[in-house]
Structures are given as C-alpha cells and as structure tokens.
C-alpha cells in the first residue's frame, strides 16, 4: 500500500506542469495545504538522504520534480542527440523586455529594440511564454504583454521576483512616432527565427 508521500511522488512524476499544494491537498483529500506541503518536504528529505539524481523544487507557484545539477553533463550529451526547440536572439530580447517591464505594449517593445517586434511576439505567444493581458490606454489602444507561468517554468523561476537584478533601469524611449493604430514606426525585425538558447527541459 503506497504511503501519502509515495502518492505525492507519483503525482509530481506524472505532472507536466508544477503541481500546486492546493491540488495535492485536493487529490489526497487532506485537511489543509499545510499537510500537502509537509508531504512534499518529506519527499524532498527522502531524495536528499538517498542522493538520487532527482530533486523536488518549488517553481512557478507549485512543485516540480527535476534532475540534480550534478547529472547535467550526461543530460547535455542526451540533448545533443535530439532536436531542441530554441529561441532566437530577437525573441530573447523581446522576452527580457517583457519580463522586466511587464505589462508592456508592443510599441514600447519596438521602441527599446528599434525594430518591429510583431514576428517575435507571435512566436512568444505561440510558445506560451507571454500572453496578452489587456490594452493600454494610449492611441490605438495597443495590447499589453506579460510573461506566463510557462515562462517561469522554462527559466526555473518561482516568480518574476527571482529575475536577475540589473543595474540601472530599463528606460523605454519616448514614443513620439506612434502611429494612429498604436504601432511605433520602426524597422522590420530581420528575423524571428534562429537558434541561441534552449527553453527545453
């Protein structure tokens, strides 16, 4: 008969997204979320004591089972043998702007980058790394973008507060040339494709 900790282990293994303490409480029919967190802590302690290749971490508002840093060299070898989904440099630029200035509109992103970001934003939306969170009260009422839970998971962050601190402040240039439809007059991005950094697990 599996113990509650065994069940939590199975849930984390089977889940392809971070599992919230409330969801664990619900599945195991526990009294409150504190019991769920205690079971997760017990599982963490079990892994720590046995020095396994896996560990449980808190990320994206929930818990996830991941590999330990010590086994990274072997995982890199495995990754080299398969095709990985990558983000282009333009996509990473736009993603960084959104992460640090969210919610932020496309004209503001274009102003910082100096090129049209429509293509890279479509790419980020398709990958579910960003989402549209509303419209800005500005000419043309452009969409506002913010990062998603998938973004936190892909970069191993608990929340946006875990983003690396940067010196100074990211300043959005004056949007003097915003067109009537709410888009900045910028050059077309030379390309939204390409390969730089992996967001795969």
The residues near 82 (Cβ < 8 Å, ≥ 6 apart) are none
- Taking only the tens place, the pLDDT of each residue in 57-110 is 998 889 999 888 888 888 776 655 443 457 888 999 999 999 999 999 999 999
Rounded Cα distance between 73 and 70, Å, is 8
Question: What does CATH list as the number for 86-193?
Answer: 1.10.10.10
Spans of all domains in the chain: 4-79, 86-193
Rounded Cα distance between 66 and 38, Å, is 19
Instruction: Report in angstroms the alpha-carbon separations of 162 from 19, 49, 96.
Output: 19, 27, 13
Task: Report the sign of the C-alpha dihedral through residues 117, 118, 119, 120, in that order.
Answer: positive
- Taking only the tens place, the pLDDT of each residue in 173-198 is 554 344 334 444 445 555 554 434 44
pLDDT of residue 172: 54
Domain 4-79 has CATH 3.40.50.720: no
Do the two domains 4-79 and 86-193 of this chain adopt the same fold? Answer: yes
The residues near 133 (Cβ < 8 Å, ≥ 6 apart) are 102, 103, 144, 145, 146
pLDDT of residue 74: 81
């Amino acid at each position: 008969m599996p113990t509650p900790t065994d069940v939590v282990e199975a849930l984390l293994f089977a889940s392809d997204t971070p599992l919230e303490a409330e969801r664990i409480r619900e599945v195991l029919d526990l009294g409150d979320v504190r019991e769920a967190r205690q079971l997760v802590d017990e599982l963490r302690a079990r892994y720590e004591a046995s020095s396994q290749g896996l560990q449980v971490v808190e990320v994206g508002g929930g818990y996830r089972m991941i590999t330990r840093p010590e086994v990274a060299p072997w995982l890199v070898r495995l990754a080299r043998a398969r095709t990985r989904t990558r983000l282009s440099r333009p996509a990473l630029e736009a993603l960084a702007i959104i992460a640090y200035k969210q919610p932020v509109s496309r004209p503001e992103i274009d102003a910082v980058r100096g090129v049209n970001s429509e293509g890279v934003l479509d790419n980020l939306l398709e990958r579910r790394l960003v989402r549209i969170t509303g419209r800005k009260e500005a000419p043309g009422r452009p969409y506002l973008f913010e990062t998603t839970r998938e973004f936190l998971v892909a970069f191993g962050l608990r929340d946006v507060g875990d983003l690396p601190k940067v010196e100074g402040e990211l300043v959005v240039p004056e949007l003097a040339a915003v067109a009537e439809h709410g888009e900045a007059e910028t050059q077309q991005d030379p390309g939204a494709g390409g390969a730089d950094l992996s967001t795969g697990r």
